[in-house]
Amino acid sequence: MTDTTTAADIFIALVGALDRVGVDWSRAVSLATDGAPSMIGKKAGVVTKFREKVQSANRGRDFWTFHCILHQEALCCKSLKMDNVMKVVIQTVNFIRSRSLNHRQFDSLLREKDHIYGLPYHTEVRWLSRVALLRRFFDLREEIEQFMEEKGKPVLEFHSAEWMQDLAFMVDVTEHLNNLNKQLQGRNKVVTQYYDSIRSFKLKLSLWETQLAGGDAAHFPCLKNVCATQHVADMKRFKDKITGLLREFEQRFQIFGELEKDFNVFCSPFTVNPSDLPVSIQLEIIDLQCDSDMKGKFAAAGLDTFYQNLLPGYPNLTALAAKLLCMFGTTYVCEQVFSVMSIN
């Protein structure tokens, strides 16, 4: 596309590209987008138009749409609303890095104190990329404080116990979120793996919420370290931050709740209760659960391999597996292609 990028333009280009490779529209099961307004507009967005086209071909069967999980996670992160920390960090780092003399003098100070690595430069890119900046800022906080005072630009926040606790909490929580982000990236991932990672992180948030409410910062080492030296900390405000983050995850990943039964059948066909499943698949599940040979193959093979070799007697289970194996939970592969195109 070289001209406008309205929803209609994108839809026409997308349909044209898929038609050229002979896509069977009746077999499309899901669409993942970046959540841009042109994509998700309720009346004329690409998602709406795409769903209508697919369901006109598949006789109204379910069609699932995902707002890229990686984008959703980044939006959840922003709900922490800790600009009071980032503003000071960015201004301070930019003062040091944007002036070559300041940068050389600061690096000289670090060498005197046997620090190998300096401060990374901040750029307004993905939110989670700030994790490295925050970590280095926290680790070098004493050197930064000394340098800024020598330059006549003291960072007053370094003398605020509350702000230092906010900084420490921000370092810890962004590192937790960055670990989740790494789990959600990569090729050849099945949508249930994304679900497992998100579900695991929500359980961790619940644990941290309970622990922080009781004054326990065991999983927030930087915060714990700062609080140990200051002997004063209001853990409730950090507990409230985690509560808000958990609420964002619950709201933004509701689609996984709608697909949970399908996920359970797909991942654990030998342990699900047939009576909890749709009638169309109940008898197949009973037959499968009583097949010792298939149970052994399931334990030995990966999910995709197992379902690819499933015997012909399980048409509905095979169809369910095919649907889930086709789903993309993120736009990661698409963005990787764009990156290659940009480089070339």
Range among 71-75, 100-104, 125-129, 303-307 with highest mean pLDDT value: 303-307
Q: Averaged over 236-247, what is the pLDDT?
A: 93
| pLDDT of amino acid 224 | 94
Query: CA–CA separation, 341 vs 344, rounded Å?
Result: 5
User: Who contacts 38 (Cβ-Cβ below 8 Å, separation ≥6)?
Assistant: 5, 6, 7, 10, 45, 46
Q: How many independent structural domains does the chain possess?
A: 2
One domain for residues 160 and 182: yes
Confidence (pLDDT) at 285: 97
pLDDT in tens, 187-230: 677 888 888 999 999 999 999 999 999 999 999 999 999 998 87
Sign (positive/negative) of CA torsion 128, 129, 134, 139? Answer: positive
Work out the average pLDDT over 25-43: 74
* Residue percentage of the chain with pLDDT more than 90: 33
* Share above pLDDT 70 across residues of the chain, in percent, rounded to a whole number: 78
Instruction: Give the DSSP H/E element, type plus range, for residue 66.
Output: strand 64-67
61: phi then psi, degrees, rounded to nearest 5: -70, 165
- Could you tell me which of 30, 59, 24, 26 has the C-alpha nearest to residue 326? 30
Q: Which of 39-43, 72-76, 229-233, 254-258 has the highest mean pLDDT?
A: 254-258
Residue 299 lies in a domain: no
**Residue 297 located in a structural domain:** no
CA nearest neighbour of 287 among 299, 269, 301, 267: 269
Listed ranges 5-14, 84-93, 119-128, 153-162; the one with the highest mean pLDDT: 153-162
- Indicate if the alpha-carbon torsion angle 105, 106, 111, 112 is positive or negative: positive
- Do the domain assignments include residue 98? yes
Residues 39 and 81 in one domain: no
Q: Which of 67, 86, 105 is the last residue of a domain?
A: 67
For residues 307-318, average pLDDT: 88
Q: Which residue's structure tokens are 């890119």?
A: 125
The DSSP symbol for 25 reads: G
Distances from the Cα of 96 to the Cα of 90, 99, 114, 344, angstroms = 10, 6, 19, 34
Q: Are residues 37 and 106 in the same domain?
A: no
Distance CA 242, CA 67 (A): 23
Question: Domain check: are 171 and 233 in the same one?
Answer: yes
Residue ending a domain, among 252, 287, 312, is 252
Question: Which of 36, 67, 98 marks a domain boundary?
Answer: 67
- Residue 184's pLDDT band (cuts 50, 70, 90): confident
Higher-confidence residue of 22 and 341: namely: 22
Sequence-distant (6+) residues with CB within 8 A of 127 are: 74, 77, 78
Domain that holds residue 154: 75-252
Q: Are residues 55 and 175 in the same domain?
A: no
Both 53 and 146 in one domain: the answer is no
Do 165 and 241 have their domain in common?
A: yes
322 is a domain residue: no
> Does 208 or 24 have the greater pLDDT score?
208
**Average pLDDT rounded to a whole number, residues 238-249:** 93
Is residue 283 in some structural domain?
no
Could you report the per-residue pLDDT of 45-68, keeping only the tens digit for each? 888 888 888 888 888 778 877 777
Give 132-142 pLDDT, tens digit per residue: 888 888 988 99
Same domain for 63 and 81? no
Based on the fold, state whether residues 43 and 82 are members of the same structural domain: no
Reading the block at residue 201, the tokens are 């992180």
Provide the mean pLDDT of the chain.
Answer: 81
Rounded Cα distance between 282 and 280, Å, is 6
d(CA 78, CA 73): 9
- Give a yes or no: residue 120 inside a domain: yes
- Residue 341: pLDDT band (50, 70, 90) is very low
Residues in the chain: 344
Same structural domain for residues 240 and 135? Answer: yes
Domain shared by 79 and 200, yes or no: yes
Q: Are residues 96 and 232 in the same domain?
A: yes
